[in-house]
Chain A
């Protein structure tokens, strides 16, 4: 079956660094996405990894190891506005094409 695992909730302090892990077991792999979702709003794209290694984009970085079925999202210099859910999704074969298989999301709480 297809399975994406990520922690349910994490807490961090403003100004600090936090790493959100995601492990996946899928029948195939064609890229991994991280999305951010504030309560009641649309998920918004953060990053995409398809090759092993680290992708850096400002305060956010995303890492992928395909052999380990593992990714993490690293958030630096945390701000209060970073309080949100972070969703890991893998594009894998499904149906007649590729589908996004989603984790349940990690709720990140930032404390002053």
Chain B
């Protein structure tokens, strides 16, 4: 079974440009999460989709960030315009509750390393 995939693995852009990150969750997983890790700091929650609906977007830094999950399959995270402080690793994770466990294990993708110059 394929895991969570993310594209691109690396992106280097200049301040003011636009970048779109993509996440393909594990097939059948309704829950999709975006996280960000700034170098040297902890992973921070950005938002949570349940199917195509935004369940929780309280972690989104500002309105330069836009996440979508049309059709409830893959998701995109667009940063427009990018700023220097947006640099970091963006992780995507997916999960499916109700698999006989009493917890919600999230499966992570390898991340997209974004560098804004």
Residues of A participating in the B interface, judged by any CB pair closer than 8 Å: 4, 31, 33, 35, 40-45, 48, 50, 87, 89, 91, 94-97, 99-105
What does DSSP make chain A's interface, helix, strand, loop or mixed?
strand
> Cβ of B63 < 8 Å from any Cβ of A?
no
In the complex, residue of chain A having the shortest beta-carbon distance to the beta carbon of B58: A95
What does DSSP make chain B's interface, helix, strand, loop or mixed?
loop
Assembly CA distance A44 to B3 (angstroms): 11
- Asked if residues A96 and B56 are in contact (CB atoms below 8 Å), the reply is yes
Assembly CA distance A48 to B42 (angstroms): 19
Query: What is the interface size of chain B, counting residues whose CB is below 8 A from a CB of the partner?
Result: 25
In the complex, residue of chain B having the shortest beta-carbon distance to the beta carbon of A104: B42
Whether A42 contacts B105 in the complex (CB less than 8 A), given A97-B48, A97-B55, A103-B42, comes out as no
Whether A96 contacts B58 in the complex (CB less than 8 A), given A43-B91, A105-B42, comes out as yes
Provide 19 A-B residue pairs closer than 8 Å at the C-beta atoms, listed in order of the A residue: A4-B42, A31-B103, A42-B107, A42-B109, A43-B43, A43-B91, A45-B105, A50-B103, A89-B43, A94-B56, A95-B45, A95-B56, A95-B57, A95-B59, A97-B55, A99-B45, A99-B56, A100-B106, A105-B42
Q: Collect the chain B residues with CB atoms within 8 Å of residue A50's CB.
A: 102-103
In the complex, residue of chain B having the shortest beta-carbon distance to the beta carbon of A6: B42
Whether A96 contacts B55 in the complex (CB less than 8 A), given A87-B43, A103-B42, comes out as yes
> Cβ of B4 < 8 Å from any Cβ of A?
yes
